[in-house]
Amino acid sequence: MKKIANDEAAVVIIGSGAGGGTLAYELTAAGIPCVVLEAGPFLKSEDYHNNEWEAFKQMAWLDARTTSGSWRVAKDFPGLPAWIVKAVGGSTTHWSGATPRFKDYEFKTKTTYGDVPGASLLDWPITLADLEPYYDRAEIAMGSTHRHGRPALPANNNYKVFANGAERVGYKLYATGPYATNAEPYDGRPASIQDGFNFQGDKNKSKWSTLVREIPRALETGLLDLRPDSHVVRITHGADGKADAVLYVDKEGNLHRQAARVVCVAGNSIESARLLLLSDSNRFPKGLANSSDQVGRNYMRHMTGSVYARFDKPVRMFRGETMAGIIADEAGNDPARGFVGGYYMETLSLGPSFLASFVEPGAWGPDFTEIMEAYANTAGMWIVGEDMPQATNRITLSDTARDQWGLAAANVHFDDHANDVAMRDYAYDHAQKLYDAVGAVASHRTPPYPSTHNLGTCRMSERPEDGVCDKWGRAHDVSNLFISDGSVMTTGGAANPTLTIVALAIRQADHLAAKLKAGEL
């Protein structure tokens, strides 16, 4: 592996997930050496556990965090606002794989929805047309089924219930994808063996992640200096206001400095915002790149919920690809439903260990055990839709809580917007109707899990005062500082965000490579 000297002003990427891992591959492939600083360990596919709690303890980001606000997660899981990964590959190692694209109007929701009270809607500074070529490249890289000649995954048991229900209630836009897991061998990786373990890391490597594709290929170029267990705690700047180094802590707690020519922040929305807030200085008293006071604001987590339905016959939802089932009929904007924006329905399965903890947090007694008792006969789906950005939903630094390094922990404040609540109620109702149509004995409305889709907090904006970065992800305030993850999303759309994060990162890499080669950075 390449060794880049700590005093050599390098292209430094913070994080190795969908954004950082993709950027590292695209830049090294273009001949540009990079340092990648990853807070977590270098877990490999063979290290993963086919066990929900063991995997969670191995992979999840469990550093101290706090919550506030009226969202239910703050009550059920006050110290765990998000379920994301701290390891090389980031949260691409535990994502399920659904890859819908954003729709055209989802880049211009302020224009489309008009004034929504309490929402800080803003049109993106880019359009779907800008992103389409990069969506193509991302889908090809990730091997999305149903796209670019990639075949569909077969129907598993959970999908059979889901799709039959869809058909019976009149939905048409159902399929087993698009889903970035191989139905047949592709890109040097094998076909899915339908082992049912996705959130726990895929031991079979059929699922795309930056761990199995971008990181190893970037290492093969000989231009990547990958440093796991390297938790960035501050970005510093010179007298000219440009970022000049990043400071990070190794697993023994020793501080290191890496000089930087360009810094790309891709720590997932909570940590990216926290890092900028931790990097305050006399020049940037509210945090780096935060003259707009927008860093940390407009945190979005998608409107989510789940419905688990039980039948009088076996389903065995745990057999097979977890989320290889998508219904898009409700994904458009139809305000006649009582809310703006749309949502997807997607198959979902949990094992008994996680279902017990998440199906109705806090519940016990016979009503609860009735749900668990029916485990083998249960089908499940997730609902995931656009939530409204709100300036007050934000990441701040805790006054009291500290992480293992003694640094202020992130507090995640979130209140559901009335539009989120209306959409969730409607989606629950329609999910239950779908299962009723195929003979459900009963079904349960499961509240949101800790956030897996963490978006916003450093949003792109045309005008510097409205956001944190421009249409390339470049910080409005700091010309060599880029944001390279889902925190740049101006609004969240309904689609699972990973495909869009990858597409944006490929686009940003092209831009960065051109600027670097032209000597403009």
Q: Which stretch binds other proteins (CB under 8 A): 5-13, 266-274, 355-363, 508-516?
A: 355-363
Minimum separation from the CB atom of position 320 to other proteins (A)? 4
Interaction of residue 440 with other proteins, rule CB under 8 A: no
Binding mask 400-439 for other proteins (x = CB under 8 A): --------------------------------------x-
Are 340 and 113 in contact by the 8 Å Cβ rule? The answer is yes
User: Which residues are within 8 A (CB) of 401 and not within 5 positions of it... i.e. 6 or more apart?
Assistant: 64, 65, 66, 408, 409, 411
- In order, the DSSP letters of 224-235 are EEEESS-EEEEE
- Cα separation, 477 vs 142, whole angstroms: 33
Phi, then psi, of 68 in degrees rounded to 5: -155, 170
Interaction of residue 192 with other proteins, rule CB under 8 A: yes
Q: Which two tokens stand for residue 227?
A: 């440093």
Interaction of residue 68 with other proteins, rule CB under 8 A: no
Q: Which of 9, 30, 140, 155 binds other proteins (CB under 8 A)?
A: 155
Amino acid type, 155: A
Phi, then psi, of 162 in degrees rounded to 5: -60, -50
Closest CA to 279 of 321, 302, 248, 310: 248
- Cα separation, 173 vs 328, whole angstroms: 5
Minimum separation from the CB atom of position 237 to other proteins (A)? 45
- Cα separation, 182 vs 206, whole angstroms: 5
Beta bridge partners of 145: none
Interaction of residue 118 with other proteins, rule CB under 8 A: no
Strands 481-483 and 255-265: parallel
Interaction of residue 371 with other proteins, rule CB under 8 A: no
464 three-class SS? helix
Interaction of residue 194 with other proteins, rule CB under 8 A: yes
Query: Closer CB to other proteins, residue 287 or residue 380?
Result: 380
Query: Closer CB to other proteins, residue 7 or residue 104?
Result: 104
Q: Which of 59, 88, 263, 356 binds other proteins (CB under 8 A)?
A: 356
Q: Which of 182, 204, 306, 508 binds other proteins (CB under 8 A)?
A: 204
Interaction of residue 96 with other proteins, rule CB under 8 A: no
Minimum separation from the CB atom of position 156 to other proteins (A)? 5
Phi, then psi, of 413 in degrees rounded to 5: -100, 130
Interaction of residue 333 with other proteins, rule CB under 8 A: no
Q: Which two tokens stand for residue 9?
A: 């002003």
Interaction of residue 366 with other proteins, rule CB under 8 A: yes
Closest CA to 203 of 44, 335, 65, 332: 44
Phi, then psi, of 482 in degrees rounded to 5: -120, 145
Query: Closer CB to other proteins, residue 149 or residue 285?
Result: 149
Minimum separation from the CB atom of position 184 to other proteins (A)? 12
- Cα separation, 141 vs 498, whole angstroms: 12
Count of residues engaged in binding other proteins, rule: CB under 8 A: 56
Interaction of residue 53 with other proteins, rule CB under 8 A: yes
Interaction of residue 319 with other proteins, rule CB under 8 A: yes
**What distance lies between CA 398 and its chain's CA centroid?**
23
Rg, C-alpha atoms of the chain: 22
Minimum separation from the CB atom of position 74 to other proteins (A)? 17
Amino acid type, 391: A
Interaction of residue 249 with other proteins, rule CB under 8 A: no
Minimum separation from the CB atom of position 385 to other proteins (A)? 19
Q: Which residues bind other proteins (CB under 8 A)?
A: 49-53, 146, 152-157, 159-161, 163-164, 167, 172-177, 192-197, 203-204, 313-316, 318-320, 328, 351-353, 355-357, 364-366, 368-369, 372-373, 375-376, 438
